[in-house]
Amino acid sequence: MKWPFIKLIPKNTKFGFVRFSIPAAIVSVVLCVASLVSCFTLGLNFGIDFKGGTVVEAVWDKPINLAQVRERVGNMNLRDVGVQDFQEPNQAMIRFLPPEGADASATV
């Protein structure tokens, strides 16, 4: 049986990038191990899309102090609370999970 396409590549062909295969494999294995260690030690940071929860975009008449908003929302027995500024100085985005066993719509 003849292999006509084999004649397209000479027998003594040497590719220069092949010499980097061992170092590239070592770097790849090190990065894979580092990512696994990171996942198991730090855990995964699931956003509100995966955990569920509520996002409230609050607007006030005058500029707000985010530290005060964080303090007040933190005292409301909510879980995983996040407060961040939103577009204007008088707006804030509040993300939270309702307390265990509570109805999310009743919490809002």
pLDDT in tens, 13-71: 787 888 899 999 999 999 999 999 999 998 877 766 666 778 888 888 998 888 888 88
pLDDT digits (tens, 9 = 90+) for 10-19: 777 787 888 8
- The domain limits of the chain are 4-42, 48-107
pTM over 0.75: no
Q: Which helix (H) or strand (E) holds 29?
A: helix 21-42
- Residue among 79, 81, 48, 47 nearest 66 (CA): 81
